[in-house]
Amino acid sequence: MKITKAASLADDLVLRFEEKILSGMLKPGERFPTEMTITTDFGVSRTVVREAFARLAARGLLESRRGSGAYVAEGARYQAFQVTAAELGEIDDVLRLLEMRTGFEAEMASIAAQRRTQDDLDTMKACMERMARSTDMDASVEADSAFHAAIARATGNPYFLRFTDFLGIRLVPSRRLYLRSDSPRSHAAYARTINKDHKAIYDAIAAQNMTKASLAARRHMQKSYERYSALKREAAG
């Protein structure tokens, strides 16, 4: 998927205004600058501004008033954290999520190694077997998500599971950005790569080795980050 200049500029605007809102520089009920002001101040097109406004509105940070303009939504500073599917359409978005996910997954695997039960291990193993049999993207995504949910459940901490369930499929970077082919062979090869990492995490959790489990989970995330970074460089070149 090509990373467009317009999408990148819209990302930048969203981040700038989100920071102003969350820091209190822009207060609830305060009017946003006009489209023309933003296009002049930031050197972007109206299309970029409207895309940024649409994303801010989707996050509950902006509300439009007919004939009046755009305003900071009431309670905007207290919006719950969320990652929408629309935000994962570009490689940069996936990389940001992977950065956040790395520490979360490492700690979760460490705690799971300490507390796992045999039922937890059986569930993880079944997920890996499903991944090995997968021949299409949907099946591999489902098996991948289920494996990480099983680790969350093994912690015995409901907040790990709730957070994993909340992000759901967003914790598994989109294969549409990485896989160029829909062939069963391509998906099977990708599944083998992921399953090799999963096996290392599983083995450490099964051995109740908290340090190795954490390192295996961290390596898994870092390798994913490296794959998507390489794809970004390829798209840019």
CATH 1.20.120.530-classified regions of the chain: 85-236
User: Could you tell me which residues come within 8 angstroms of residue 94 by beta carbon, excluding any fewer than 6 positions away?
Assistant: 88, 173, 174, 177, 228
Report the CATH number of the 85-236 domain. Answer: 1.20.120.530
Region 3-26 average pLDDT: 77
Q: Is the pLDDT of residue 167 over 80?
A: no
Q: Is the pLDDT of residue 140 over 80?
A: yes
Q: Is the pLDDT of residue 54 over 60?
A: yes
Q: Please, are residues 201 and 107 in contact by the beta-carbon 8 Å criterion?
A: no
Looking at mean pLDDT, say which of 7-11, 96-100, 233-237 comes out highest: 96-100
Region 92-115 average pLDDT: 92
Region 20-31 average pLDDT: 86
Q: Is the pLDDT of residue 80 over 70?
A: no
More confident of the two residues 23 and 21 = 21
At the top level of CATH, the class of 5-78 is: mainly alpha
CATH 1.10.10.10-classified regions of the chain: 5-78
Question: Could you tell me which of 92, 97, 145, 153 has the C-alpha nearest to residue 122?
Answer: 153
H or E element: which one contains 194?
A: helix 184-206
pLDDT tens-digit profile of 34-46?
999 999 999 999 9
pLDDT tens-digit profile of 181-227?
567 777 778 888 899 999 999 999 999 999 999 999 999 999 989 98
Q: Read off the pLDDT band of 4 (50, 70, 90).
A: very low
